[in-house]
Structure 1
């Protein structure tokens, strides 16, 4: 009987550990990576960090293979895969610490997510959708130091904990309905202006059908609605109205558009 109890305990412990590992990969925790909250209005600066990461290699690749609509030449990226791998290797070796500023951390993790997503598509190209890849967001595949982070871990366990909701419009999931992939690298010296730009562009794009009384929004505003706050309180309409050319009435009912997961590829 005692042996059976011990065996059962071991099985339960193994299941709990496996479950924790899956949850960690999916982004429930930061997996030990440093995060810092944006405490007030974000400013762009390189002056307050122990390190300034050079993202110029990624910037050149983006300018070469991403157009102004955010559509991606994945065949071109495939030809430049060695350069993409070199950039990701450089990011891995930097291994962020608490001595980095919030600006450097934001730029680092956003660029890491986007570059790793492009690499994931290139490694599985050709394909119709990122959703055709097994464990696209949950498998540990992004090297940072000695760790293997998942894309979900970078988004949910790190970036979403930094109290900067505009990150939702900066990271790109390689799909038509995603916020577009900006064709320049994010940097600490321009981070606030870049985040403002991508947010305004997304809100006012055809990813949303905004009207005063019958708005139909991107599912991004549904999935992450608790992140969109005004004065510390969840307020999706108020948040959108800070950026939208057409304002939504405060009492309007929100509907959400179907998400197009087809690859955001240049034709």
Structure 2
């Protein structure tokens, strides 16, 4: 496949290299048109590994989502600042993959979360599922994506360029870094304050039990702790360019 003769930092024109190249171009303030054209020109055969390999899918779609956010913030910031942000920004097509115009909502909820609704705290299926989403959605939601997806808000986690070969280690790092920065534990009261995404997508984490397990796994609370959960307020202030190496 050589959809647009695009070279990337990883030296090939695979879908994952194109998505990573697009994200890095956003980071560096470089032209993105060639990457966008190449992603749009992909076909189902090009996307075979994205469709069949979990690590490839995670890296590809995380990079697409985060690049799409930066593109929208740069080109149409008024959509984010609108009181109707949840429709005008998250529902707006951000980029095209294999001919399908994809919004941030479609990438996150239709694909990465395996076809779950953005409403219902992570317990409800997505009602309107496109054929593209059915074909490319992950079979199960990895809750660590919520510490990797950046929607443009100040409270969002930092942006990394994900790679299939190391995506699990990278997601562990992103999770640990974000939890360390946002979680506070009051041992005397046995109360822990966690990011708001843990409430919005509570079902993705396996409910309160799953959230506590995650906190113990990453050393945020003691191994024998079963604290009460409180959810931090979310700062929606626009914050583009939150990249880390």
TM-score normalised by length of structure 1: 0.64
In the alignment, is residue 102 of structure 1 matched against residue 54 of structure 2? Answer: yes
Distance, in Å, in 1 between the alignment partners of 2:80 and 2:184 is 26
How many equivalent residue pairs? Answer: 196
C-alpha deviation, 1:165, in angstroms: 1.5
In the alignment, is residue 204 of structure 1 matched against residue 180 of structure 2? Answer: yes
Q: Where in structure 2 are there 5+ consecutive unaligned residues?
A: 1-13, 115-137
Paired residue for 1:89, among 18, 37, 57?
A: 37
Change (3 A) 1:149 1:180: same
Change (3 A) 1:107 1:225: same
Q: Where in structure 1 are there 5+ consecutive unaligned residues?
A: 1-50, 65-76
C-alpha deviation, 1:266, in angstroms: 6.8
C-alpha deviation, 1:84, in angstroms: 2.3
Structure with larger RCO (C-alpha < 8 A, sep 6+): 1
C-alpha deviation, 1:208, in angstroms: 2.3
C-alpha deviation, 1:126, in angstroms: 7.2
In the alignment, is residue 137 of structure 1 matched against residue 90 of structure 2? Answer: yes
CA RMSD of the aligned region, Å? 2.9
Residue deviations 1:84-134 (CA, integer Å, cap 9, x gap): 232233223234544442211111111110111100000124787476655
In the alignment, is residue 192 of structure 1 matched against residue 168 of structure 2? Answer: yes
Matched ranges for 1:225-240 at <5 A:
225-229=202-206, 234-240=209-215
In the alignment, is residue 61 of structure 1 matched against residue 28 of structure 2? Answer: no
Change (3 A) 1:98 1:52: closer
Matched ranges for 1:216-231 at <5 A:
216-229=193-206
